[in-house]
Amino acid sequence: MCDTALLIKEEKNGTVSEKDISLFTKKVQSSYQKLLQENFKLLDENQIRRIAGLLNVSRRVFVYGMGSSGNVAEEFQLRFMRIGLDVTAVTDSQMIQMSAALVEEGMLVIAISLSGTTREIVESIRIAKSRNAKVIFITANPAPETSTPRTVPKTTPSSRIQRRRMEKPALMRERQTER
């Protein structure tokens, strides 16, 4: 069994051993610690200041994301609303396009796409820029095609995420053959 394929095995009586639970929680903790360390290495304090400044002066903030990036957009909404910002997460492709067509100067769009190539997100960035909205693009792609002087790109580490995507079918096949 591959060490990245963590399975909690049940004992014969149907219970899960404390050893398996302990190993599982330690691996989860280690994984999150590594991810945080990777993110802090990429942290550019000047860029964070610029982003904070944009958040501070924007009348409204829209956060666009689809799929797992949509979940992140909803988390942004929750966190920013708790500190008093007018934030709306938009996660449906049609609503993202309509929202982008209605933004205007003084508004901020935060677009999230792990690949940096999600068609609907890339198009919404173009539309929002044409309407003179400020745009922050959060992606794992260090040189997304939408980067221009009017876009503030923020990259995130993805080597492990991309590698896991490639390994996932192999892991699924491995698990099936073990049964």
CB 135 within 8 A of CB 125: yes
Q: Please tell me the number of Cα atoms within 13 Å of 86 on its side-chain side.
A: 7
Given a cut of 60, whether residue 147 has pLDDT beyond it is: no
CA 146 → CA 57, 74, 88, 129, distances in Å? Answer: 23, 22, 22, 10
CB 139 within 8 A of CB 115: yes
Q: What is the pLDDT of residue 19?
A: 72
155-166 confidence digits (pLDDT tens)? 555 444 444 444
Q: Give me the amino acid identity at 170.
A: A
- pTM metric for this prediction: 0.68
Residue 121: which H helix or E strand, with range? helix 119-130
CA 153 → CA 50, 51, 145, 170, distances in Å? Answer: 11, 10, 11, 33
Q: What is the pLDDT of residue 1?
A: 43
* Strand-pair partners of 153: 137
Tell me the pLDDT band of 42, cut-offs 50, 70 and 90. Answer: confident
57-75 confidence digits (pLDDT tens)? 999 999 999 999 999 999 9
Q: Give me the amino acid identity at 77.
A: Q
Residues in the chain: 179
CB 89 within 8 A of CB 73: yes
What is the arithmetic mean of pLDDT over 72-82? 96
What is the arithmetic mean of pLDDT over 95-120? 95
Given a cut of 70, whether residue 143 has pLDDT beyond it is: no
CA 44 → CA 39, 89, 108, 154, distances in Å? Answer: 10, 25, 20, 9
